[in-house]
């Protein structure tokens, strides 16, 4: 190997070392874990090789609950947050005064600690014996009864989780859509206006096609992000998510690994791989749709 | 004459329509701005109420007439919030520092040095960007545990260092620096390392600042890995600290004190954001995600 190649590999060495130890090796290892049956982390022994871990996980009611929660969260929050973000971005780009101020405010949730702000959402929604909380007060104003959103019925807990998730993911979406909208060439709009095209038609025929790559990017990252939801749920419902019935797939993986219910890396590996396959499938489907509908 | 009247009428109605539209746009934007700011207002407000005042409000009040800083004293004396903050600061500084060195060296190798296997290696790096953290964290947890590095800074920091995406981002920027500069430096007998830190790094400073800020945000908010790897509260970071405070410290019902802790934790990043908001937003739109 010549001098230059030596130098190249030398510069790359630290990165290769860290990636090798903490990414490539674990990747191979996680497959092995997921097929080792009856693995004991204390003695590092196992009985045999097979698909038992997968079957255990797929029959575990906690996992099925986590699967249901995660799917609901994905199906609700991805479209809702993308639509709200589109609406707000359209508003932002149609004004010039105060745009920077609004943009800065809207981005604020991105830099906050999910766990910390989740606690604020919890006390806003929580109903305790000595107070119904902020949100219930508003509900009462509109004549609705009080609901405990944190320890109450399933739909109420799901609602808070969705609201908080949307609140957390919106900054990123607004940012991406606003810059996409601003980069659309004004000539198209002027030409359409000269032809007397209606606003709705301009939006459907010019704006939407021009920003479709960004929308698809947001949908794909939104799906991936929502499938990996975890810390939002912890922030609202505490670390024992199984007891609250609000666990997510990622939460299930971590609970299997560590904590009161932990010590089962094989089950954790199987669940993580199931999650990976789900995310991969959905991303591929998205890509196929994208090829059909995105114009650029 | 008649047509002129028509024209000004049309113009007036167009202006009126524009005004009405603007009114609704500002209404929508202001509504959402309030939705974003309200939790922040609420946490500051609650943190300034005394415990007894807070508990006696069956219907929560939107203001307080007797603000107190007692809660802020409590979070530093009855729970080790100062310790959590210090831990997070140490963790963030060391992780970001090592990440910068590793990233700069790797990006330079990919962008400037021509060596056997470079393109192949770069492909592998790009492929690694798609690996979700959840898959590798299981083995990393076992590795760190076996090495006896639980409840140490080394165990916290080592797996958090590399981000392939930042290497990619910086490589793209390095590749834009004209080759002539490099050859000129070579003629002058400058070594690669010197050229890298004297020429490349200063030229690409904006990108480096962007990755630094993104990494700092990531470190400050990291929750999952620290939770797995620390169970001794001496090594908790703020995210775990706040969870610990919620479940075991201060008493479950002492919400004003909890809110004081939340305010203290949020301040550093909010200040950082207010100073660098242009840079942060630009950096995130170039490739940050949050899921």
Chain B residues with beta carbon closer than 8 angstroms to that of A39: none
Q: At A28, list the tokens.
A: 């191979």
| Model ipTM value | 0.88
pLDDT, one tens digit per residue, over A198-237 is: 888 888 888 998 898 889 889 988 998 899 899 899 999 9
Q: Can you tell me which residue has the tokens 């970001």?
A: B96
B19 interface with A at CB cutoff 8 Å = no
Residue A241 and residue A247: Cα distance in Å, rounded? 5
Q: Where are the domains of chain A?
A: 61-117+159-293
Burial class (CB in 10 A: 0-12, 13-18, 19+), B129: exposed
Q: How far is A11 from chain B (nearest CA, A)?
A: 5
Termini Cα distance of chain B:
63
- Separation of alpha carbons B73 and A144, rounded Å: 39
Cβ contacts from A onto B, under 8 A:
261
pTM for this predicted structure: 0.90
- Residues of chain A with C-beta less than 8 angstroms from the C-beta of B158: 18, 22
Q: Residue A40 — very low, low, confident or very high, per pLDDT cuts 50/70/90?
A: low
Which letter does DSSP use for residue A203 in this model? I
Q: Across the 291 residues of chain B, what is the mean pLDDT of every consecutive 10-residue run?
A: 73 87 92 94 91 79 83 87 93 96 94 88 87 87 89 92 88 89 84 88 90 90 90 89 81 80 92 88 70 35
Query: How far apart are alpha carbons A106 and B277 in whole angstroms?
Result: 11
Cβ distance of B106 and A12 shorter than 8 Å? yes
Q: How big is the CA angle at A271 (ends B145 and A168), to the nearest 5 degrees?
A: 90
B264 lies within 8 A of chain A by CB: no
pLDDT of residue A161: 95
Mean pLDDT of chain B: 87
Residue A283 has pLDDT above 90, yes or no: no
For chain A, first and last CA: distance in Å?
Answer: 44
Q: Give A81-131 pLDDT, tens digit per residue.
A: 999 999 999 999 988 888 999 999 999 999 888 888 999 999 899 887 777
Q: Is A234 near chain B, with CB under 8 Å? A: yes
Average of per-residue pLDDT values in chain A: 88
Instruction: Give the mean model confidence (pLDDT) for residues A251-265.
Output: 82
Range of lowest pLDDT (A53-67, A136-150, B227-241, B266-280): A136-150
- Please give the share of chain A, as a percent, with pLDDT higher than 70: 95
Q: How far is B45 from B47, CA to CA, in rounded Å?
A: 5
Q: Is A258 left (phi over 0), alpha (psi -120 to 50) or beta?
A: beta
Say how far apart CA B38 and CA A291 lie, in whole Å.
41
Binary contact (B106, A14; C-beta < 8 A)? yes
Taking CA–CA distances from A85, the nearest residue in chain B reads: B32
CATH fold group of domain A61-117+159-293: MetI-like fold (1.10.3720)
- pLDDT of B290 reads 44
Chain centre to alpha carbon of residue A221: 8
* Strand extents, DSSP E, A127-240: none
**Range in A232-246, A250-264, B70-84 with the lowest mean pLDDT:** A250-264
Banded pLDDT at A76 (limits 50, 70, 90): very high
């Amino acid at each position: 190997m010549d001098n230059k190649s030596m130098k190249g590999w030398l510069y790359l060495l630290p990165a290769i070392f860290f990636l090798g130890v903490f990414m490539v090796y674990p990747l191979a290892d996680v497959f092995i874990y997921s097929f080792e049956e009856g693995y004991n982390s204390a003695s590092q022994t196992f009985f045999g090789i097979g698909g038992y871990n997968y079957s255990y996980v797929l029959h575990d009611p906690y996992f099925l609950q986590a699967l249901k929660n995660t799917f609901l969260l994905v199906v609700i929050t991805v479209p809702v947050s993308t639509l709200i973000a589109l609406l707000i971005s359209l508003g932002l780009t149609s004004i010039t005064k105060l745009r920077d101020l609004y943009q800065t405010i809207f981005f604020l949730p991105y830099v906050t600690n999910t766990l910390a702000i989740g606690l604020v959402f919890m006390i806003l929604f929580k109903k305790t014996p000595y107070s119904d909380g902020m949100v219930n007060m508003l509900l009462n104003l509109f004549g609705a009864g009080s609901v405990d959103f944190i320890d109450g019925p399933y739909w109420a807990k799901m609602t808070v989780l969705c609201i908080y998730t949307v609140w957390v993911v919106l900054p990123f979406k607004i940012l991406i859509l606003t810059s996409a909208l601003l980069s659309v060439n004004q000539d198209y709009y002027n030409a359409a206006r000269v032809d007397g095209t209606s606003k709705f038609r301009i939006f459907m025929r010019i704006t939407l096609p021009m920003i479709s790559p960004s929308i698809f990017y947001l949908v794909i990252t939104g799906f991936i992000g929502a499938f990996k939801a975890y810390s939002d749920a912890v922030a609202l419902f505490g670390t024992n998510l199984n007891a609250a019935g609000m666990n997510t797939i990622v939460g299930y993986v971590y609970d299997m690994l560590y904590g009161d219910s932990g010590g089962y890396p094989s089950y954790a590996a199987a669940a993580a791989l199931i999650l990976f396959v789900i995310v991969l499938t959905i991303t591929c489907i998205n890509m196929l749709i994208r090829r059909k509908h995105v114009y650029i | 004459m008649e047509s002129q009247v028509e024209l000004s009428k049309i113009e007036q109605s167009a202006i009126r329509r524009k005004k009405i539209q603007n009114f609704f746009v500002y209404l929508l934007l202001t509504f959402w701005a309030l939705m974003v700011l309200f939790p922040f207002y609420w946490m500051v407000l609650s943190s300034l109420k005394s415990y007894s005042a807070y508990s006696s409000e069956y219907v929560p009040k939107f203001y307080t007439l007797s603000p107190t800083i007692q809660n802020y004293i409590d979070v530093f004396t009855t729970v080790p919030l100062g310790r959590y903050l210090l831990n997070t600061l140490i963790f963030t500084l060391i992780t970001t520092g090592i990440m910068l060195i590793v990233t700069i060296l790797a990006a330079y190798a990919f962008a400037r040095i021509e060596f056997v296997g470079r393109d192949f290696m770069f492909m592998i790096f790009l492929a690694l960007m798609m690996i979700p953290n959840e898959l590798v964290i299981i083995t990393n947890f076992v590795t760190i545990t076996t090495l006896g590095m639980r409840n140490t800074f080394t165990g916290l920091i080592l797996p958090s260092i590399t981000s392939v995406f930042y290497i990619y981002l910086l490589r793209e920027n390095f590749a834009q620096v004209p080759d002539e500069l490099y050859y000129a430096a070579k003629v002058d007998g400058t070594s690669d390392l010197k050229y890298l830190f004297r020429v490349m790094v200063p030229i690409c400073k904006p990108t480096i600042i962007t990755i630094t800020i993104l990494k700092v945000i990531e470190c400050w908010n990291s929750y999952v890995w620290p939770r797995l790897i620390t169970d001794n509260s001496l090594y908790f970071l703020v995210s775990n600290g706040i969870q610990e405070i919620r479940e075991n410290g201060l008493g479950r019902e002492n919400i004003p004190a909890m809110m004081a802790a939340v305010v203290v934790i949020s301040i550093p990043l909010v200040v950082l954001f207010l100073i660098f908001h242009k840079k942060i937003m630009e950096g995130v739109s170039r490739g940050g995600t949050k899921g």
